[in-house]
Amino acid sequence: MKTMLFLAIILLNTMAMGQNKAYKKLTEEEKHIIIDKGTEAPFTGKYEKHKGDGVYTCKQCGQELYKSSTKFESHCGWPSFDDEIPGAITRVPDPDGRRTEIVCSNCGGHLGHVFQGEHYTPKNTRHCVNSVSIDFKPVEIKISPVSQRETAYFASGCFWGTQFHFHRQNGVESTEVGYMGGHTENPSYQDVCTGSTGHAETIKVVFDPQKVSFRELAILFFETHDPAQVDRQGPDVGTQYRSVVFYTSPQQKEIIEELISILEAKGVKVATTLEKESTFYAAETYHQDYYQKKGGTPYCHIYQKKF
């Protein structure tokens, strides 16, 4: 089967180099990458740091390969995606015997390689793609009025880890870490750490409901921490690390209650509590976007599918 697959890909590549008018005429550089399976120099590609809403397509045949929502920053030097459009990518054992090559399923053009187990995103997959192999097709962006934005507040242990996951979620427009649920005005981090203020380390999430629903965010909340732990998350112990959702509407409350019921039906002893939103106090500047500034990944917020 592997031999047949290799032959099929070679045939497709041969067609691409011929006079097939369905394929774009490639430059010498593009041929080197797409046909001869070369690799562009790291941190030089057009799409390495590219952002925008749309679809990334195959440079050679135009097939849609990746949605922009699956692109993420891996700092590896090439565009990175954690998922492909179904049926768009073919995986092939690399001749080096160690890696897995990825090619366009339509024309066989070389894209790069796929890696797993690196924990960059919850999907734990990284498509490392040459910018030369792809084009970008933007979509018309319909911007919702600011009045239609919604806000949610989640507490699931150390707010660094919580923010790490929500910051990457498509449809989330901003995140801010802070303190909620206590009785002391304008608490500092040191105050909250004493456990005497009653606050929980909380993340404020502003999102566009046309792009992501509160239910999707709530599922992300439950799937990126252990909701069965009481007043702690991993090695962080104290009431400030409790699992709680501060709901802003009856609808948000109902959704959390529904998800808790689903988890409990699966045998999870959910410790997550529901509290009505109260005053949110922003945390100190050095706490904001901690992992984005410092690098690394959360030590106690590991994605685990639960729904």
CA distance readout (Å), 188 to 57, 67, 250: 48, 41, 30
219-223 contacts: CB < 8 A, separation 24 or more? Answer: 219/259, 219/306, 219/307, 220/165, 220/166, 220/169, 221/154, 221/156, 221/162, 221/245, 222/259, 222/263, 222/272, 222/306, 222/307, 223/122, 223/303, 223/304, 223/305, 223/306, 223/307
Model pLDDT, residue 203: 98
pTM: 0.56
Model pLDDT, residue 52: 87
Please confirm, yes or no, whether 158 is among the known catalytic residues.
yes
Q: What is the mean pLDDT of the chain?
A: 90
For a pLDDT cut of 70, what percent of the chain falls above it? 90
Each residue of 265-304: pLDDT tens digit? 999 999 999 999 999 999 999 999 988 888 888 888 989 9
Each residue of 61-107: pLDDT tens digit? 999 999 999 999 999 999 999 999 999 999 999 999 999 999 999 99
* Catalytic entry in 61, 158, 193, 300: 158
* Domain boundaries along the sequence of the chain: 2-138, 146-294
Model pLDDT, residue 293: 85
Segments of 53-171 assigned E as strands: 54-58, 64-67, 71-72, 80-81, 89-93, 100-104, 110-116, 125-129, 134-138, 150-156
**Least trusted range by pLDDT, from 184-198, 209-223, 267-281, 283-297:** 283-297
For range 215-242, the mean pLDDT: 96
* Catalytic entry in 58, 61, 107, 128: 128
- 59 phi and psi, to 5 degrees? -60, -35
Fold of 146-294: Peptide Methionine Sulfoxide Reductase; Chain A (3.30.1060)
Fold of 2-138: 2.170.150
Each residue of 104-153: pLDDT tens digit? 999 999 999 999 999 999 899 999 999 999 999 998 655 556 658 999 99
Model pLDDT, residue 197: 96
Residue of 203, 220, 190 lying closest to 159 (CA atoms):
203
Yes or no: say if 264 and 270 are a contact pair by the CB < 8 Å rule: yes
